[in-house]
Amino acid sequence: MSTLFEAAGMDRDVPRPLADRLRPKTLGEVVGQDHLVGPDGALTRMLASGSLGSLILWGPPGTGKTTVARLLAGTTSLAFEQLSAVFSGVQDLKKVFETARQRRAAGQGTLLFVDEIHRFNRAQQDSFLPVMEDGTVSLIGATTENPSFELNAALLSRAQVLVFRRLDTAAIEDLLERAEAAEGRPLPLTPDARETLIGMADGDGRAALTLVEDLYRASREGEEFDVAGLSDVVQRRAPIYDKGQDGHYNLISALHKSVRGSDPDAALYYLARMFAAGENPLYISRRVVRMSVEDIGLADPQALLIANAAKDAYDFLGSPEGELAIAEAVLYMATAPKSNASYVAFGAAGRAAREFGSLVPPKHILNAPTKLMKSEGYGAGYEYDHDTEDAFSGQNYFPDGMQRQTFYDPPDRGFEREIRKRLDYWSKRRGAHRSSRDENTGE
């Protein structure tokens, strides 16, 4: 098949981008993925066994998914076919499958690489199943999105998912050194600026080499850029973050768990990343409100008020001023005493409500607005708590036929320490009331 560049009519004499020129020629040259292509890596073991099943390569951009797919074709006797789900449709799939069937009849298998496979709809994904099952093709799909959410369960059950990791500092540094060797000169950067460029790459090897190429083009002989100069010459890339996909959920999860773990510094870091990526501040505000009721609760009753006040402040001020109010709310939540007792209690009460069904409350706590209801015993024997000692009667409020349940069990910290004392006191009074009632009724 023709390549995308040939199809577009691009001149082969046009200089190839640095990232393409430095594309690894062997699996051993792939950086940052030792867990896959190292001596004991999953792919290394798979190739050593002499068989290659269908694979889904999942990871951030610029981590080597396409490169590895191409190299796998070179390490096997399989014919290599490549499609992009962005540019391909049903007819393209049918052509590839038919060609693969003809090869199979002649005794040769086909390795089909599909880039951005998550962009195929469910019906298109289903079309792979028959040719995967009968061995017509070995499918290698590459995706930046979580396969669990974006790919059919049937497709996933027939393929092994290999996770590619974002490139760490050492891996990016390795790429920079390869670029310097290819260009025959060092990067015109101070040590601090070099470290900044690695940060700009954000774990993306292709982006790192693109930044390097831009830098070489911009630099004059003998020139060396510091951090400020680098920022002027090479614009910082936006963080990898899709508000509708994994980046969105990963960062809000990290923020929430940092707050729950009482780490205000980590919480501020993730909050700042979300703001920098353009996340909707009102979405973050809603999550902060949830933190206040799920992870703090009555350990600090002010938390909910603070969270709502931050939301209102942002509504009033807008960005960027209002973002500080959200940051203060996050700091308050992270430093507040933690308790999920309310959250747990409500869940337990919900389970009890489903288990016991539609039990009628005891008659003594039901209103009796009619004579008939009074004659049926509604309201009979009710004790008005405000007229009792400490405004606590100790009478039963659970339905008849249902034993008393304990759902709310506050910890001995924060404001709930005081609530715990009250509950313990009321429990003793309730026990005394029960004993007195039993004596009076002769039970």
The per-residue pLDDT of the chain, averaged, comes to 86
Determine the distance from the C-alpha atom of residue 230 to the mean position of all C-alpha atoms in its chain, rounded to a whole number.
32
b/e per residue 222-236 (b: at least 16 CB within 10 A): eeebeeebbeebbee
Give the Cα separation of 86 and 108 in Å (integer). Answer: 28
Give the Cα separation of 17 and 213 in Å (integer). Answer: 8
Q: Which residues face 141 on adjacent strands?
A: 56, 114
Cβ–Cβ < 8 Å for 152, 50: no
Give the Cα separation of 268 and 258 in Å (integer). Answer: 9
Give the Cα separation of 213 and 187 in Å (integer). Answer: 10
Residue 219, helix vs strand vs coil: coil
List of domains in the chain:
4-163 (3.40.50.300), 169-233 (1.10.8), 246-335 (1.20.272.10), 362-441 (no CATH)
Question: Which of 77-86, 192-201, 232-241 is predicted least confidently?
Answer: 232-241
Report, in angstroms and rounded to the nearest whole number, the Rg of the chain calculated over CA atoms: 32
Question: Which uninterrupted H or E stretch holds 432?
Answer: helix 416-441
Q: What is the pLDDT of residues 148-177, one digit of tens each?
A: 888 989 999 899 999 999 899 999 999 999
Q: What is the pLDDT of residues 71-121, one digit of tens each?
A: 887 787 788 888 888 888 888 888 999 999 998 888 888 889 999 999 998
Q: What is the pLDDT of residues 361-381, one digit of tens each?
A: 888 888 888 888 888 888 888
Give the Cα separation of 326 and 276 in Å (integer). Answer: 14
DSSP string covering 278-320, please?
Answer: T--HHHHHHHHHHHIIIIIGGGSTHHHHHHHHHHHHHHHH-TT
32 CB contacts (<8 Å, ≥6 apart)? 63, 64, 165, 166, 167, 168, 170, 171, 205
Give the Cα separation of 19 and 172 in Å (integer). Answer: 12
Give the Cα separation of 319 and 333 in Å (integer). Answer: 21
- 0.85 cut: is pTM over it? no
pLDDT reported for residue 243: 54
Neighbour-count burial of 61, counting CB atoms closer than 10 A to its CB (0-12 exposed, 13-18 middle, 19+ buried): middle
Cα angle 68, 79, 128 (rounded to 5 degrees) comes to: 80
